[in-house]
Amino acid sequence: MEMEQIISSDNRVLIIDDDPEFRTFLRSVVEGLGCVAMEAGNLSEFTAIYDQFQPTAILLDLTMPETDGIEFLRNLAKRSCKAPVLLVSGQDERILATAERLGRLFGLTMHGSLRKLMHVATLESMLQQVWQDSSGITPETLDRAIREDELVLHFQPKIDLQSGPLFPIIGCEVLVRWMHPKLGLIQPDDFIPLAEETGLIQSLDDVVLRKTIAQLQAWQNLGINHSTAVNLSPTSLTDLDFPDRIAGLLAETDIDPSMLMVEITEQAAMADVGLVTDILTQLRLKNIAVALDDFGAGYSSLVEIYRMPLSELKLDRSLIVDIGVSADARTVVKALIALARELKLPVCAEGIETIEIANFLQNTGCATAQGFYFSRPLPADTFREHIESQPVDASAFQRRTA
């Protein structure tokens, strides 16, 4: 799909900012892309415009004297707004990141943020991406993608932190991508929520599991036997037959069940503790490992967690990225690792972006890690090449995956 087809007068941008000069600047950029723009400088103007205008994208300032941007996000959520929201503000990056997380918690589609001193080209690029991401991603096209084998797997290396400075690869996590025939490679955040909302997630999960097990078989034939983790949707944790199905798939391909780990989120684990515990116990009895993902980011009960048959805790990346700038984050991470040690549960940290954070976690007793410092998610063949080239120091590994 050509960009000229993606951006058209059908794209309506609502600009919410109290500074009339900055609104004029934003409007000139939006209209220069061939889109329709309207402005609101306060809540009453926004209320008068929104329902009639029905924006397909929103540019929102966080700091306004009468009503701050968070209140606007709440208001948009109450209106069940589906338009992507792009924050444009003079606030620092941490505040912008927090506001984005709040927007997602409110159920909004947050498309990122820009500081007010941005280049026109940067704003144009982000607006173009809004419509490029949303065009062609529908329940119908996603259903076709599942049926016609457009889903592909990438593998993010899992690193052993306790084997010194070489950081060997000991496994990986499976991450699904959608190879769209027109839009190219689409990230999971852009289609997994749609799959969950439309009931396609079970079919998607089934495809990912079958592809993962097939890849394990291919690697096994090459003499590569690394544990591979796959994420489960909450839907799988409501199906008592799921453990038998996954065990059957492993048996068909003669894969040792210990080579597979399933990951569940805190939110999914707490949805129905009795049912989830039943399913997880069945998986463990079949020698399939279970990791609790995003640990530390939710509101789970520690009592229920220690009663669940878990194999590993994965610390949420939001905690890890703050280690370099926040003493409080370092304290919390140390405490969580100490708690896991007492529970005899190994800890994996996600989101490692610097050697300083890797060293901190290594010294704190964290067992394993994932993150862009070591490697981005890789296609299967590239991941295999890295496995076969070990041992390797982290800097060389990072250079090859840049």
Domains in the chain: boundaries: 3-134, 139-401
Q: What is the pLDDT of residue 69?
A: 84
Yes or no: say if 63 and 69 are a contact pair by the CB < 8 Å rule. yes
| pLDDT value of residue 139 | 80
Rg (CA), the chain: 23
In the structure encoding, which two tokens stand for residue 349, read together?
């940290």
Question: Length of the chain, please?
Answer: 402
The third-level CATH classification (topology) of the domain covering 3-134 is Rossmann fold (3.40.50)
Query: Would you state the pLDDT for residue 273?
Result: 85
> Domain 139-401 in CATH: superfamily?
EAL domain (3.20.20.450)
Domain 139-401 in the same topology as domain 3-134: no
At 237, give phi and psi (nearest 5°). -85, 10
Q: What angle do CA 97, 99, 104 make, to 5 degrees?
A: 95
Residue pLDDT, tens place only, 113-172: 887 776 787 778 777 777 655 556 778 889 999 999 999 999 999 999 998 778 899 999
For residues 369 and 377, give the distance between their C-alpha atoms in angstroms, rounded to a whole number: 13
Beta partners for residue 60, in sequence order: 16, 87
pLDDT of 229 = 97
pTM of the model: 0.68
Helices (H), 190-326: 192-198, 201-221, 242-252, 266-271, 273-285, 302-307, 317-320
Structure-token pair, residue 279 = 């399913």
Q: Tell me the pLDDT of the chain averaged across its residues.
A: 85
| Res 92: pLDDT | 75
Q: How confident is the model at residue 287 (pLDDT cuts 50, 70, 90)?
A: very high
pLDDT > 80? residue 394: no
Q: Residues 330-365: pLDDT tens digits?
A: 999 999 999 999 999 999 999 999 999 999 999 999
* Distance, first Cα to last Cα, the chain: 28
